[in-house]
Structures are given as C-alpha cells and as structure tokens.
Structure 1
C-alpha cells in the first residue's frame, strides 16, 4: 500500500469507509424486529465492543460451528431482535460490521484459544493450499510463494485479514472478507461458494490464526 493510500486510511475525514461507520452508529441505536430492541439495548455503549472484531470468527455453541462477525450480527437480529437477517454484503450489514470493527482499530488480532475451532482451522488450512479452478492455483501459490511480487501491476499481499470490512478502490465501496475470497476464486476461474458456505468461515479462521498479534486496521482502504 502506497503512502497516499495509507494516509487516506489513517485520516477518518478522508477514509471513505467512515461513511459506513457513521451509518452503523445510527443503526446501533435503532430498534428493529418484533422485540423492538436495538443493539444498544443489549450491548450498551459501543465502546464495550472494543476487541470483539479482533477475535472473530468465534465458535457459536448454539450452532455447533464458528461464525464470522457479520453472521454474529445476523444471529443477534434473528434471535434477540426477532428481525429478519440482513442480506449478505448489504449496506446495513456492512455498516454495522464496520462500526463494531472500528472499536477494535489498533488492537492486536487475538484468535480465540478454543479447542472447538481447531478442526475448522485445519479445514481452512487445507483449503488455502488446495489447487482449484481452471488455472489450477491455490491461495498459497499467490500469497505465500509470490507475496511481494507484482500481478497486473498490483503487489501481491500476504493475505493477512487486518482491515475488514474494507474499502477497495476497485469496488468503489465497502466489502467483507467473504467478498474478497470470492473475488480470488473467480480470479482462479473456480466456482465461488455461496455466501453461507462454511468454507469461507474456515478460510477466515485460518487467515486469522496466521495474523495473530498483527494490528487491526478496520475499516481499511486498499487499491
């Protein structure tokens, strides 16, 4: 990431993702569903969310599997607010995720030390190294073997998920890590999984484990 982009990310007045954060602040106190509850009614001031995004995905005991931050938000909506789940990549869902994640900016990524997550992390590791698509590529071939080199004029990153939800200039909007993973699959000419596929959360968990201790930048800006 160049200096100008870094400066844009670090300046809340210039970072375009802050538009979603502002919307998330309004949604935090807006009541929804038949329970007529807001996020604030259960969680109080959003400052209490500091550190939360740095440890997601996390295991959801009621489901018997891990969920990412966006899925956790929707679980709160359906279980606590008795409201409809927000659509994947919808502006409202991304706004709430960005608002919550913003509270953890500057904190170290801290994956949960939960033995129940280990099989899912291992599955994510296997997916990361598995060749897929017509190009017969794996995530590792780009992000491990060729990290730092150029692809289409852009530097290949090491795939550390330190800034999601993220504003990409390419998208001219905010997007989740799932959206980025889907982009990679399409680039490999592989069939993208559905948004609710467990493969994405497994990959997110594995990537989070690799980034342990790195600083969370959410909401970040990238090319």
Structure 2
C-alpha cells in the first residue's frame, strides 16, 4: 500500500504502532473536545474537583493570585480583584495579540508579562509549578465557556502561520498535525484514541507525566513523536499553532484543568 493513499499505512515502517482501526470520521463534522475520546473512568476523574489532581495546581494558583510579588509588591488581585469574576471567559479568548507589543500572547505569556510590566517580578519558566498553577487557576475560571478567539487584524498573520504549520508534513515520519488529528481522529494509536487535537483542556494533568503540564509541553511531545524539531515552549511556532488550534476548536468548551491519559 502506498503511503500517499492511506494515512495509517503512511506510517510505513512504524505502521505496527497502530492498534485496532476505527472508521475515519466525517471531515465536515464539528471539532470535539478532548473529553469526547476519554474513557468513563477518566471522565469521572476529570469531573470530580476533589479527585482531579489538576485541582491541586488550581488551589496553589489561588494562593499565588493573592500573593504580593516583585518590586511593586503587588498581587494579581491588586489589579484584577476576584478572579472568578474578572477572569471568567478570559481563557476562552486566548491566544490574543497584545496591543502594546503586537506579539501573540497565550495565558502563560500574559501572566509573565503582567509580572514583568506591572509587578516588577521575574518571569516564570514554562513547566514550573508556579506558572502552571497561575495558568491553571486563570483557565479554570473559564471552565464551560466556549472558545472564541480573534484571527482578524493583527492576529491574521499569526493564524496563517499556525494553519500552515498544522498542515505541513514534518519530521522523519513526514506527518502533519492534520493527518492524525483531522483525517484520523477516533482511530487507535498504541493504547490511545487519536483526538481532534484541541487545546481547551490545558494545562492538563497527564497520567503519563504524573503531573500537570502545559499545551506546549504536549506539542513538544507530538514533535518528538514524529521525530521533528522540538521548538522551545513559548516559541512563535507553537504560539501560532496554539492560535490555529483555538480557532479550529471554536465553540468547544474550556475544560481546564483536564485529565489526559
């Protein structure tokens, strides 16, 4: 079988990684949240705020929200008051272009920019518990809100860069994001079901990692999986892809902090 005809056989030398194949889902169907592909046990774990391990970071984020930091000795709450009011719906609108710098910001970059601009504090590194906690806390305030990002005006070139990356074959396996998450969502790969590849549940607690992780950590893992270049977390490449994924997942509800296998 030729790789160009069938994606699954397109894995060629690693075709044996695929498990039982399910029918290809209709290309014109709505994009579904990650929870659509989860087992009942994982769904129950995610839905239970006591059992969901990601809620530990949300709890820490609530404490950090009120903690004064930096030269200004200001907390997030000093400017934004109660997060359950002022942050509601924010995660559903990110990534977004920052009006002052013209750069594309995701939640992590917005939090760090607030720290450096307004609090006189150092930026937090990706995958540190502090940044994960603050991001999870802010994202959690939008749980259930529908994703709605802007891709016009200054966001347009970032969106186009992300769209191009989603459909471009990369790595030694010569695969694009779309070949897995668009053409073959619902099929089996090893022990997992391939999802639509949306970011509305992140930061998420991944059982494989035994910790909370950012969407960019997951994107880096995908890059590694197809043996392609891994960009730095927070890189323009992953930020633009994050914007494209958000637009593609328009109207999908925010699930953060999700639980993933």
Structure-2-length-normalised TM-score: 0.84
Partner Cα separation in structure 1 for residue 203 and residue 166 of structure 2: 20
Question: In 2, distance between residues paired with 1:212 and 1:17?
Answer: 24
SS of residue in 1 equivalent to 2:113: helix
1:13 paired with 2:50, answer yes
1:53-68 superposed matches below 5 A: 53-68=91-106
Matches within 5 A, 1:4-83: 4-47=41-84, 48-83=86-121
Contact 2:151 2:159 in 1 (8 A): no
Secondary structure (helix, strand or coil) at the match of 1:34 reads coil
Q: Provide the C-alpha distance between the structure 2 equivalents of 1:139 and 1:112, rounded to a whole number of angstroms.
A: 22
Deviation at 1:175, TM superposition (A): 0.8
- Asked if 1:135 is matched to 2:173, the reply is yes
The offset of 1:112, in angstroms, is: 2.6
- Alignment match, 2:157: 119
Task: Describe how 1:145-184 pairs up with structure 2 within 5 A.
Answer: 145-184=183-222
Identify which of 124, 129, 144 aligns with 1:106: 144
CA shift digits 1:118-175 (9 cap, x unpaired)? 1111110100111111111111111111111011121000111120111110111111
Q: Which has the larger radius of gyration?
A: 2
Q: Name the residue aligned to 1:218.
A: 256
The question of whether the paired residues in 1 share the 8 Å contact of 2:147 and 2:246 is answered with yes
User: For structure 1, which runs of at least 5 residues remain unmatched after alignment?
Assistant: none
Q: Following TM superposition, by how much is the alpha carbon of 1:62 offset from its aligned partner in structure 2, in angstroms? A: 2.0
Structure 1 residues 41-84: Cα deviation after superposition (integer angstroms, max 9, x where no partner): 01001121000001100111222121100000000000000000
- Structure 2 gap segments, 5+ residues each: 1-37
**Distance of 2:104 and 2:179 partners within structure 1:** 26
SS at match of 2:97: strand
SS in 1 for 2:205: strand
Instruction: Supply the distance in 2 between the matched residues of 1:184 and 1:62 (Cα, whole angstroms).
Output: 32
TM-score, length of structure 1 as denominator length: 0.98
User: CA–CA distance in 1 between the matches of 2:125 and 2:170?
Assistant: 27
CA RMSD across the alignment: 0.9
Pairing partner for 2:135 from 90, 97, 108:
97
**Match of 2:240?**
202
Q: Which residue does 1:85 correspond to in 2?
A: 123
Distance of 1:83 and 1:172 partners within structure 2: 29
Shift of 1:114: 4.0
Would you say how many aligned residue pairs link Structure 1 and Structure 2?
223
Alpha-carbon separation, structure 2, partners of 1:94 and 1:34: 22
